[in-house]
Chain A
Amino acid sequence: MSIQLTRRALLASATGAAGALLVHGSARAAETVPPIRIGLTSVVVRENLDFFSDWAAYLAARLERPVTFIQRRSYSEIMDLLKSGDVHFAWICGYPYARRRDPEFLELLAVPLWQGAPLYQSYIIASVGAAGIQTLADLHSGVFAYSDPDSNSGYLVPRDMLTREGMSPESLFRVSFFTWDHGETVQAVADGVADAGAVDSYVWEYVEATQPSLAGRTRVLARSDRFGFPPLVARRGIGNDLTRRMRGALLGMADDTAGRLLLDRLALDGFSVQPDSLYDSIRELAARSGRPA
């Protein structure tokens, strides 16, 4: 809710073309060239809105076109925008990317490098206050927080972990709910609204580094296998030139000071080009879980 307020304040102050995160960009951008629109989901930490205006300015300078970030609550909304062509690029979760589309309208743009690899995990975290929860089995009849039904680390992976432990995620919990944001999952578990939750390891580590008092009220109960890091994707048909230039701009961030500073703020090492097969493990997982792959 506080994010919402900050966002409004940001719009009201009209800090510039790249600062507008909401929907249709800014008037100034529309004057000349239509802006490049990039969709965001909760795979990245949304707390620092200034960061996205700085990043948009950085990318706009590299691409010589205005850049606008567009925020939506759920993955499916961003996927719809990608499908309809309302966004050119998007940073989405591995599972939405790995799913088979017919016709395919996505192309892998770049994969972030975190802690030296294009990989991340799912953490199952428990509230520090819920002392009775020591293993996954202790989650029985508790309250569990997922991030998004289309999330890999926030939904598919924890359910698979429970299933492999011999438990049924459908009946294990007294109640479960979606927070639609990995950061808020940490909040819900920390506040004790949920006894436990599943969270992107990158987000949890980021929160631990930036808000240790919040992360400190949670503890990691279990860690999953490693999966391909949530990728940046391009919509097919926007032109190879634009895709190539965008990829170049992203890959080049690690090589200049401004880019490095932005990467540091994201706690990432850089962006890389990876084969589509990086996400095969997610496809297997989805197939195993009975989800569309």
Chain B
Amino acid sequence: MMRASLHPRSWSLMVKLPLTIGLIIGCVAMVIGIAIVKEQQAQGTAALEERTLTVARAVAAAAPEAALRNDYWTLHKVLATMTRRTATAGSAGAPVTTAMILDPGVRTLASLEPRVNPIALPAVLAEGTHAMAAAALDKGTATVRWLADESVVEGAVPVTLNGTTLAAVVVRLSAADLSAALWEATRIILGLTVLLAIAGSVAAAMISRRMVRPLKALAGGMDVIGRGGSHLIPESAVRDRDEIGRLVDRFNRMSAELAEARRKEQELAVNEKLVAVGRIAAGVAHEVNNPLAGMLNCLDTLRSRPGDQVLVERYLPVIEQGLHRIQGIVQGLLSELRDGRGTGGCATALGDPADLRDLLAADLRGRALRLDWDVEAAVAPILRRPSVQQAVTNLVKNAVAAMPDGGRVGVRAHARGDEAVIEVEDEGHGIAQEDVGRIFDPFYTTRNDGTGLGLWITWRLIDDLGGAIAVDSEPGVGTIVRLCLPLNQLMGDMDERMRV
């Protein structure tokens, strides 16, 4: 988990954006800075080389007369004056580390370090320096070179009079000032780089904050909508009219539309309920009205022929039958509406699935019907539940009603994955395709003696258990009604109930 949150891909935009922009600005500033320092170094190097030659030439210009006369002291004074750091002309504060004037035999005529190179003795020189002095003396060429460690630049210039080379001036200038200037420039550039990177990061942080705040608000709003709520992102969270701003606008519009659709849906549901209630009321009225008409006829006839015992004998059972039927309708409806669990249809719950089988088999006896009972032991406990027993009873009754000429009724129960599947199969007339969608509506029936409540009650029982009903029917061949119940959940409930 930690590792996942440390991975850059999981970083917030508010971190990533400032880091990236800071890094880019830093890199760009660094590259420009390096280019500037390099350029400065090149310029400084060239300037120092030029300065070296200028100092050497200034000495050479003042030296010929004294060199001609071997006037050591004058040469020394010329050298000392021209190369002095505080000199006002020519050398202009050049950082001369050492300088000397050499005669054609490469002996010292004058030196700023007389103890290292005493006058009138062969000069002790580095190999490269000697070569430069020799070039100045022999060919009259002025040359400049950098010493190996680049801290000193050395120049050699001939001293000439009327085209004759009398001596050579060798001057060394320290590059320490140049190095110090470059280091100073480098430090300034480094400082600027860091400052620019920080400034860029801060700017990026502010921008990303403006970007991320509406995005977070969007994510939160989507969560709310996902949970079925309604959410509008306030104007204050989005100040910019950019893509994100437009996205938030769309979200708000969508959220409003969704809320409107939900409200309409709820209205529709209420309407549907009202319609259903109306249908129930109409069904009840119709169901009750049918026997009432017959019974009122019987009562009229009996009143017009009082004392006709034959009629009484004949009509009283009819009236009783009608009242029973009304009673059945009202009881079924009451029991269903009262507790919603529909146990009323089957007053007593049977303990064992085998008892249910026997009861159903007893109902079938004496008719050309056969009951095939095939229940796996694993799902047998499910069939102990009263609501399941009633559902199966209702379905078997429908199956029997569908086969007036007899046939076979199959009841099978088995486990399929974590579901218990209970199938009730008949070989009856089947259900027309257009009617399949309505068979679970209350009071929907195709039989003269049906109440239209059986399948509706069955559907509600199964729905209460968290199950589902599927109907597979072919007119003229038969029907399979399949109940799918969550096996583990129901078994768990059972265990709990046992324990209690």
A-to-B contact residues, CB < 8 Å: 1-2, 129, 143, 145, 174-175, 177-180, 184, 188, 191-193, 195
Q: Interface size of B by Cβ–Cβ distance < 8 Å?
A: 16
Q: Please name all residues of chain B whose beta carbon is closer than 8 Å to the beta carbon of A178 when the two chains form the complex.
A: 71, 73
B73:A1 contact, CB within 8 angstroms:
no
Which residues 46-101 in B have Cβ within 8 Å of A in the complex?
A: 70-73, 76-78, 80-81
- Choice from A1, A2, A174, A193 contacting B114 with Cβ under 8 Å: A193
A1:B81 contact, CB within 8 angstroms:
yes
Nearest CB on B from A78, distance (A): 20
B73:A145 contact, CB within 8 angstroms:
yes
Nearest CB on A from B88, distance (A): 8
- Choice from A1, A175, A180 contacting B119 with Cβ under 8 Å: A175
- Could you name 16 residue pairs across A and B whose Cβ atoms are closer than 8 Å? A1-B77, A143-B118, A143-B119, A145-B73, A174-B120, A174-B121, A175-B72, A177-B70, A177-B72, A178-B73, A180-B73, A184-B73, A191-B114, A192-B114, A193-B110, A193-B119
Q: Please name all residues of chain B whose beta carbon is closer than 8 Å to the beta carbon of A129 when the two chains form the complex.
A: 115
Chain B: CB-nearest residue to A192: B114
Chain B: CB-nearest residue to A1: B81
Alpha-carbon separation in the docked complex, A253 to B407 (Å):
168
Q: Please name all residues of chain A whose beta carbon is closer than 8 Å to the beta carbon of B81 when the two chains form the complex.
A: 1-2
Q: Please name all residues of chain A whose beta carbon is closer than 8 Å to the beta carbon of B73 when the two chains form the complex.
A: 145, 177-180, 184, 188, 193
Q: Please name all residues of chain B whose beta carbon is closer than 8 Å to the beta carbon of A143 when the two chains form the complex.
A: 72, 118-120
Which residues 221-247 in B have Cβ within 8 Å of A in the complex?
A: none
B-to-A contact residues, CB < 8 Å: 70-73, 76-78, 80-81, 110, 114-115, 118-121
Alpha-carbon separation in the docked complex, A74 to B44 (Å):
46
- Choice from B77, B78, B120 contacting A175 with Cβ under 8 Å: B120
Q: Please name all residues of chain B whose beta carbon is closer than 8 Å to the beta carbon of A191 when the two chains form the complex.
A: 76, 80, 114
Instruction: Give the number of A-B contacts (CB < 8 Å).
Output: 39
Q: Please name all residues of chain A whose beta carbon is closer than 8 Å to the beta carbon of B114 when the two chains form the complex.
A: 191-193
A177:B115 contact, CB within 8 angstroms:
no
Alpha-carbon separation in the docked complex, A172 to B33 (Å):
63
Nearest CB on A from B352, distance (A): 130
Q: Please name all residues of chain B whose beta carbon is closer than 8 Å to the beta carbon of A179 when the two chains form the complex.
A: 73
Nearest CB on B from A6, distance (A): 13
A193:B121 contact, CB within 8 angstroms:
no
Q: Please name all residues of chain A whose beta carbon is closer than 8 Å to the beta carbon of B77 when the two chains form the complex.
A: 1, 184
Chain A: CB-nearest residue to B77: A1
Chain A: CB-nearest residue to B112: A191
Alpha-carbon separation in the docked complex, A145 to B72 (Å):
10
Residue among A174, A178, A192 with the highest chain B CB neighbour number at 10 A:
A192
Q: Which 4 pairs between the two chains have the least Cβ-Cβ distance?
A: A175-B120, A177-B72, A192-B114, A1-B81
Chain B: CB-nearest residue to A195: B118
Q: Please name all residues of chain A whose beta carbon is closer than 8 Å to the beta carbon of B72 when the two chains form the complex.
A: 143, 175, 177, 193
Residue among B72, B81, B115 with the highest chain A CB neighbour number at 10 A:
B72
Chain B: CB-nearest residue to A143: B119
Q: Please name all residues of chain B whose beta carbon is closer than 8 Å to the beta carbon of A175 when the two chains form the complex.
A: 72, 119-120
Alpha-carbon separation in the docked complex, A1 to B119 (Å):
20
Nearest CB on B from A284, distance (A): 30
B115:A192 contact, CB within 8 angstroms:
yes
Nearest CB on B from A291, distance (A): 22
Q: Please name all residues of chain A whose beta carbon is closer than 8 Å to the beta carbon of B110 when the two chains form the complex.
A: 193
Q: Please name all residues of chain B whose beta carbon is closer than 8 Å to the beta carbon of A1 when the two chains form the complex.
A: 77-78, 81
Q: Please name all residues of chain A whose beta carbon is closer than 8 Å to the beta carbon of B118 when the two chains form the complex.
A: 143, 195
User: Known pairs A177-B71, A192-B114. 9 more at Cβ < 8 A?
Assistant: A129-B115, A143-B72, A143-B118, A174-B120, A175-B72, A177-B72, A191-B76, A193-B73, A193-B110
Alpha-carbon separation in the docked complex, A178 to B118 (Å):
16
- Choice from B76, B115, B120, B121 contacting A188 with Cβ under 8 Å: B76
Q: Please name all residues of chain B whose beta carbon is closer than 8 Å to the beta carbon of A188 when the two chains form the complex.
A: 73, 76
Alpha-carbon separation in the docked complex, A180 to B74 (Å):
10
Q: Please name all residues of chain A whose beta carbon is closer than 8 Å to the beta carbon of B76 when the two chains form the complex.
A: 188, 191, 193
Alpha-carbon separation in the docked complex, A58 to B183 (Å):
59
Residue among A143, A177, A192 with the highest chain B CB neighbour number at 10 A:
A177
Chain A: CB-nearest residue to B110: A193
Alpha-carbon separation in the docked complex, A112 to B114 (Å):
37
Alpha-carbon separation in the docked complex, A195 to B72 (Å):
13
Nearest CB on B from A183, distance (A): 12
Chain A: CB-nearest residue to B81: A1
Nearest CB on B from A86, distance (A): 25
Chain A: CB-nearest residue to B88: A5
Alpha-carbon separation in the docked complex, A180 to B77 (Å):
13
Residue among B78, B80, B114 with the highest chain A CB neighbour number at 10 A:
B114
Q: Please name all residues of chain A whose beta carbon is closer than 8 Å to the beta carbon of B115 when the two chains form the complex.
A: 129, 192
Alpha-carbon separation in the docked complex, A193 to B121 (Å):
12
Nearest CB on A from B237, distance (A): 79
Alpha-carbon separation in the docked complex, A129 to B113 (Å):
12
Nearest CB on B from A219, distance (A): 16
Nearest CB on A from B70, distance (A): 8
Nearest CB on A from B63, distance (A): 13
Alpha-carbon separation in the docked complex, A25 to B45 (Å):
50
Alpha-carbon separation in the docked complex, A177 to B120 (Å):
11
Chain A: CB-nearest residue to B78: A1
Q: Please name all residues of chain B whose beta carbon is closer than 8 Å to the beta carbon of A180 when the two chains form the complex.
A: 73
Chain B: CB-nearest residue to A174: B120
Nearest CB on A from B123, distance (A): 14
Alpha-carbon separation in the docked complex, A184 to B377 (Å):
132
Alpha-carbon separation in the docked complex, A288 to B120 (Å):
30
Q: Please name all residues of chain A whose beta carbon is closer than 8 Å to the beta carbon of B70 when the two chains form the complex.
A: 177
Alpha-carbon separation in the docked complex, A195 to B120 (Å):
12
Alpha-carbon separation in the docked complex, A192 to B76 (Å):
11
Chain A: CB-nearest residue to B118: A143
Alpha-carbon separation in the docked complex, A28 to B401 (Å):
158
Q: Please name all residues of chain B whose beta carbon is closer than 8 Å to the beta carbon of A174 when the two chains form the complex.
A: 120-121
Q: Please name all residues of chain B whose beta carbon is closer than 8 Å to the beta carbon of A184 when the two chains form the complex.
A: 73, 77
Alpha-carbon separation in the docked complex, A177 to B80 (Å):
17
Alpha-carbon separation in the docked complex, A184 to B81 (Å):
14
Alpha-carbon separation in the docked complex, A143 to B78 (Å):
19
Chain B: CB-nearest residue to A145: B73
Alpha-carbon separation in the docked complex, A129 to B110 (Å):
17
Nearest CB on B from A179, distance (A): 5
Q: Please name all residues of chain B whose beta carbon is closer than 8 Å to the beta carbon of A192 when the two chains form the complex.
A: 114-115
Residue among A2, A129, A174, A193 with the highest chain B CB neighbour number at 10 A:
A193
Nearest CB on A from B101, distance (A): 12
Chain B: CB-nearest residue to A5: B88
Q: Please name all residues of chain A whose beta carbon is closer than 8 Å to the beta carbon of B71 when the two chains form the complex.
A: 177-178
Alpha-carbon separation in the docked complex, A2 to B80 (Å):
11
Nearest CB on B from A177, distance (A): 4
Q: Please name all residues of chain B whose beta carbon is closer than 8 Å to the beta carbon of A2 when the two chains form the complex.
A: 81
Alpha-carbon separation in the docked complex, A191 to B78 (Å):
14
Alpha-carbon separation in the docked complex, A174 to B114 (Å):
14
Chain A: CB-nearest residue to B121: A174
Alpha-carbon separation in the docked complex, A195 to B115 (Å):
9
